[in-house]
Amino acid sequence: MLLSALVVLGIITLAIFAPQIATHDPNRCDVRHILSPPGEGHLLGTDELGRDVFSRIVYGARVTLLVSASALLVGLTTGVAIGLVAGFFGGTVDFLVMRFVDVLLSIPGILLAILIAVVLGSGLVPVIVAIGVFALPTYARVARGSVLALKEEEFVEAARALGAGPTRIILRHILPNLIGPILVLATMDMGTAALTTAGLSFLGVGISPPTPEWGLMVNTARPYIRQAPHAIIFPGMAIFVTVLAFNILGDGLRDLLDVKV
């Protein structure tokens, strides 16, 4: 867990200090060094337009973390709110809300994200919305399940007996008890969101060029995999390491906090 936390911290550092860490302008083309191998002047080589791969990976960390964190924020806040309302009030509200969630769950996640991205178009905001909707059902189900157990606890009954209204009970007594499971789930979902971001860009419905994004870098380097394998290996490794680090960190937090998600 410690190693994964250090890797995640390193990725965050790359994203924050990208202008200071990058050795070149990520979008600067150099026709004299197209598909150059790693070496002097270009630490990880150049791509099909002569752009520095290392610099594009560094700036790509910023794009990946921004999209992933924003998308999870959308899915988390919306999903938790839906789950809280459905679980606390039950009855018809619970039935209608959870049937909507079931409809979303019945559609393969990546297919749902692609559909939303295609409808809204390419760019940062459509990708954030697409991944946020993709993540929403999971948070709704986790929040609802926790609320169904918590609302029968004695401290909730005591608050209700003292005259506390539904809003106060939800915000002051139930929501704080959801922080552990939601935090663990969000950490693990960061890897999934990063992978989905790369997948959408790879398929051409995500981030638009020339924005440095890892999935887009892998896609544009595909035709040159034999001639310049470094152009596809290094961004692919960035995706792999990021997803693995967040997944391991999430597993470690789950064991540390002893929660079930």
Condensed to tens digits (0 to 9), the pLDDT of residues 50-67 reads 899 999 999 999 999 999
Q: Taking residues 160-184, what's their average pLDDT?
A: 80
CATH number, domain containing residue 200: 1.10.3720.10
50 lies in some domain: no
Residue 207 confidence class, pLDDT cut points 50, 70, 90:
confident
CA 170 distance to own-chain centroid: 27
On whether the CB atoms of residues 5 and 16 are closer than 8 A, the answer is no
Predicted local distance difference test score (pLDDT) of residue 261: 52
42 lies in some domain: no
| Per-residue exposure over 232-258, b if at least 16 CB sit within 10 Å of its own CB, e if not | bbbbbebbeebbebbbbbbebbbeeee
169 lies in some domain: yes
37 lies in some domain: no
Give how many domains the chain has, as a whole number.
1
Q: Extract the tokens encoding 82.
A: 């839906």
- Of the candidate ranges 79-88, 99-108, 250-259, the one whose mean pLDDT is the lowest: 250-259
- Of the candidate ranges 1-10, 54-63, 232-241, the one whose mean pLDDT is the lowest: 1-10
35 lies in some domain: no
99 lies in some domain: yes
State the amino acid at position 93 in one-letter form: V
49 lies in some domain: no
247 lies in some domain: yes
Taking the C-alpha atoms of residue 196 and residue 188, their distance in angstroms, rounded to an integer, is: 13
First to last CA, the chain: 18
Predicted local distance difference test score (pLDDT) of residue 31: 82
Structural domain including 178 reads 2-26+55-257
Residue 260 confidence class, pLDDT cut points 50, 70, 90:
low
Tell me which long-range contacts 96-103 makes (C-beta under 8 A, separation of at least 24): 97/140, 98/140, 98/141, 98/144, 101/136, 101/137, 101/140, 101/141
Residue 146 confidence class, pLDDT cut points 50, 70, 90:
confident
- CB-side exposure of 223: number of CA atoms within 13 Å? 5
| Ramachandran assignment for 50, one of left (phi > 0), alpha (psi -120 to 50 degrees), beta (any other) | left
On whether the CB atoms of residues 159 and 214 are closer than 8 A, the answer is no
3, 144, 257, 259 from 198: Cα distances, Å: 24, 30, 30, 29
